[in-house]
């Protein structure tokens, strides 16, 4: 698919510099520096990279941090590419609220025409930095790359969209969600619309329910302060899992134009029935309140399950069950599309059981698509057994999600980024439960969440746990 961006606009042309706000932070160390180095190694980034942060460092300290980050990442090291990347690094130290910081940045950019500004900083600082870029005249001709979460609710998302659009045109705002850069997530879109056999049964006449699980075996790992401000619902479900829902539920785009894809994804969020108190279950693993920078009486959820309904022609009556959490039995992401049983059970064995036929998308840690069916065993009796046929199985991609998305943003390709209206539509569906959430229920680390999770999905059967890889 291709993007339909106006090729005459500055943001449709490759950026001629990259500015990373938050260059001394944790995200830069863990994800951004390895991605930028890989871009230099693959030849997709050959422009100056300017780090900006409040840390009183010099450029040599930043380069040392970048080198350490890349070496610890464990990937292949090309000394020539590493030297080119480190030589391209520059640094501006200063307070984001100080106009002198942006004046120094302007000088460091040396008159570049199409800079890209990547905000790898806490969301509370987005308005400050975007405002500073506008006041300094740096936004003109540039583009901004904004890390999730984009807002905390509908009101804050609308306000952040207003601030961003006041400085940049909508198609120069790249709202980055690294989840959309994963190969397996991209394959959902391709698999759905490159194959004709899916369409006849991809509707409420044949699909009973859809489950999406994103499980993490680890806890908050020292990020207690962030989690206290976000929680599982905002951190994972509103963005990552809602994006999967949109790709699975959207109508076929009219063309290869990604503008059409964005529009149909937004239609899915707009058709979501507002969630009520019975459509959400919140949990918190025992021991979370003992984490550093977590309140002793915290009511923040580390596990969340949602029941979502999409009120349109295709999906009327089909429940979508979403769950995610920390300290679960494994780290994996998987989708199970449960088909309805045959209208008549002709055989006396388990052929009529509710889970006989399903399509399973294994999204991580490995990508695989499987179809579950019943087949007859050898012998005279009509007795069958369950089999799964693998439609796709592949190893991990060499290109990391951050490398893919940052490359696209630098090239001006907005295909894998989220539009402002889609974000607002997604927050709209959650307004009620965000304003008055149910109390969290405790669960043991290593379990699949609160015991009430089984009752939560009982109307559709039971949760299908992700398969363990051999």
| C-alpha closest to that of 174 among 425, 338, 412 | 412
Angle (deg, nearest 10), helices 420-435 and 258-271: 20
Could you give the CA distance from residue 311 to residue 248 in angstroms, rounded to a whole number?
Answer: 15
Contact 13, 412 (CB under 8 A): yes
Contact 2, 258 (CB under 8 A): yes
Instruction: Please report where in the chains the tokens 């300094």 appear, as a residue.
Output: 136
Helix H or strand E encompassing 282: strand 280-285
Contact 205, 428 (CB under 8 A): no
Q: Are strands 173-176 and 207-215 parallel, antiparallel or unpaired?
A: unpaired
Q: Which residues contact 152 (CB under 8 A, 6 or more apart)?
A: 123, 229, 230, 234
Contact 300, 185 (CB under 8 A): no
Could you give the CA distance from residue 244 to residue 188 in angstroms, rounded to a whole number?
Answer: 8
> What pLDDT score was predicted for residue 40?
95
Q: Which residues contact 248 (CB under 8 A, 6 or more apart)?
A: 188, 192, 210, 335, 337
DSSP state, 87? H
> What pLDDT score was predicted for residue 353?
63
Give the CB-side neighbour count of residue 268, counting CA atoms within 13 A.
Answer: 23
Q: Do domains 10-176 and 180-460 have the same CATH topology?
A: no
Could you give the CA distance from residue 454 to residue 451 in angstroms, rounded to a whole number?
Answer: 6
The residue extents of the domains of the chain are: 10-176, 180-460
Per-residue pLDDT of the chain (470 residues; tens, 9 = 90+): 444 445 456 667 899 999 999 999 989 999 999 999 999 999 999 999 999 999 999 999 999 999 999 999 887 899 999 999 999 999 999 999 999 999 999 999 988 999 999 999 988 899 999 999 999 999 999 999 998 878 999 999 999 999 999 999 998 999 988 787 788 888 888 899 999 999 999 999 999 999 999 999 999 988 898 899 889 999 999 989 999 999 999 999 887 667 888 899 999 999 999 999 999 999 999 999 999 999 999 999 999 999 999 999 999 999 999 999 999 999 999 999 999 988 777 776 765 566 778 899 998 888 899 998 887 888 777 877 778 888 766 665 668 889 999 999 999 988 888 889 999 999 999 999 999 999 999 999 999 999 999 999 999 889 998 876 54
Tell me: the pLDDT tens digits for 265-323?
A: 999 999 999 999 999 999 999 999 999 999 999 999 999 999 999 999 999 999 999 99
Q: Which residues contact 381 (CB under 8 A, 6 or more apart)?
A: none
Tokens of 453: 């999770």
Residue environment code for 339-374, b if the CB has 16+ CB neighbours within 10 A, otherwise e: bbeeeeeeeeeebeebbbbbbbbbbbeebbbbebeb
Contact 334, 188 (CB under 8 A): no
Could you give the CA distance from residue 191 to residue 178 in angstroms, rounded to a whole number?
Answer: 20
Pick the CATH number of 180-460 from 1.10.3720.10, 2.102.10.10, 3.30.360.10, 3.40.50.620: 3.30.360.10
Contact 61, 92 (CB under 8 A): no
| C-alpha closest to that of 407 among 187, 215, 176 | 176
Could you give the CA distance from residue 102 to residue 115 in angstroms, rounded to a whole number?
Answer: 13
| C-alpha closest to that of 293 among 235, 240, 225 | 225
| Alpha helices (runs of H) in 43-78, residue ranges in sequence order | 59-73
Q: Domain 10-176 is of which CATH architecture?
A: 3-Layer(aba) Sandwich (3.40)
Could you give the CA distance from residue 77 to residue 67 in angstroms, rounded to a whole number?
Answer: 10
Q: Quote the Cα angle for 142-37-393, to 5°.
A: 105
> What pLDDT score was predicted for residue 2?
46
In sign, the C-alpha dihedral spanning 212, 218, 219, 225 is negative
Instruction: Please give the distance of CA 182 from its chain centroid, rounded to a whole number.
Output: 9
| C-alpha closest to that of 191 among 247, 153, 107 | 247
Could you give the CA distance from residue 414 to residue 401 in angstroms, rounded to a whole number?
Answer: 14
Q: Which residues contact 223 (CB under 8 A, 6 or more apart)?
A: none
Q: Which residues are catalytic?
A: 240
């Amino acid at each position: 698919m291709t993007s339909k961006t106006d090729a005459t606009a500055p943001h449709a042309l490759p950026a001629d510099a990259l500015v990373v706000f938050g260059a001394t932070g944790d995200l830069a160390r863990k994800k951004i520096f390895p991605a930028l180095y890989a871009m230099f190694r693959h030849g997709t980034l050959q422009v100056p990279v300017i780090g900006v942060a409040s840390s009183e460092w010099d450029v040599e300290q930043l380069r040392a941090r970048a080198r350490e980050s890349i070496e610890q990442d464990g990937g292949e090291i090309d000394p020539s590419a590493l030297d080119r990347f480190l030589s391209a690094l520059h640094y501006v130290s200063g307070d984001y609220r100080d106009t002198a910081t942006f004046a120094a940045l302007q000088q460091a950019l040396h008159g570049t025409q199409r800079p890209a500004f990547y905000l790898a900083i806490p969301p509370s600082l987005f308005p400050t930095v975007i405002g500073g870029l506008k006041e300094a005249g740096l936004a003109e001709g540039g583009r901004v790359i904004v890390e999730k979460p984009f807002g905390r609710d509908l009101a804050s998302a609308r306000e952040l969209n207003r601030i961003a659009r006041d400085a940049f045109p909508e198609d120069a705002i790249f709202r980055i969600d690294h989840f959309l850069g994963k190969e397996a997530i991209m394959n959902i879109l391709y698999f759905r619309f490159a194959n004709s056999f899916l369409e006849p049964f991809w509707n409420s006449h044949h699909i009973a329910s859809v489950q999406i699980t994103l499980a993490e075996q680890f806890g908050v790992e020292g990020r207690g302060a962030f989690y206290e401000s976000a929680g599982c619902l905002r951190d994972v479900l509103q963005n990552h899992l809602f994006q999967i829902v949109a790709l699975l539920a959207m109508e076929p785009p009219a063309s290869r134009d990604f503008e059409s894809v964005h529009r149909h994804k937004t239609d899915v969020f707009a058709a979501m029935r507002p969630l009520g108190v019975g459509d959400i279950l919140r949990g918190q693993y025992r021991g979370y309140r003992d984490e550093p920078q977590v309140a002793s009486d915290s009511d923040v959820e580390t596990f969340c399950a949602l029941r979502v309904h999409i009120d349109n022609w295709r999906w009327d009556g089909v429940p979508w069950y979403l769950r995610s959490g920390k300290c679960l039995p494994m780290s994996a992401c998987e989708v199970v599309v449960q088909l309805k049983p045959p209208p008549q059970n002709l055989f006396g064995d388990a052929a009529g059981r509710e889970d006989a036929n399903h399509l399973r998308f294994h999204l991580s840690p490995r990508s695989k698509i499987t179809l579950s069916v019943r087949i007859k065993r050898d012998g005279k009796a009509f007795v069958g057994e369950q089999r799964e046929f693998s439609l796709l199985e592949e190893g991990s991609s060499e290109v990391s999600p951050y490398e893919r998305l940052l490359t696209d943003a630098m090239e001006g390709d907005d295909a894998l980024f989220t539009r402002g209206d889609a974000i607002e539509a997604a927050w709209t569906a959650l307004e009620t439960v965000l304003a008055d959430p149910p109390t969290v229920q405790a669960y043991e680390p290593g379990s699949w969440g609160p015991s009430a999770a089984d009752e939560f999905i009982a109307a559709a059967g039971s949760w299908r746990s992700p398969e363990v890889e051999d």
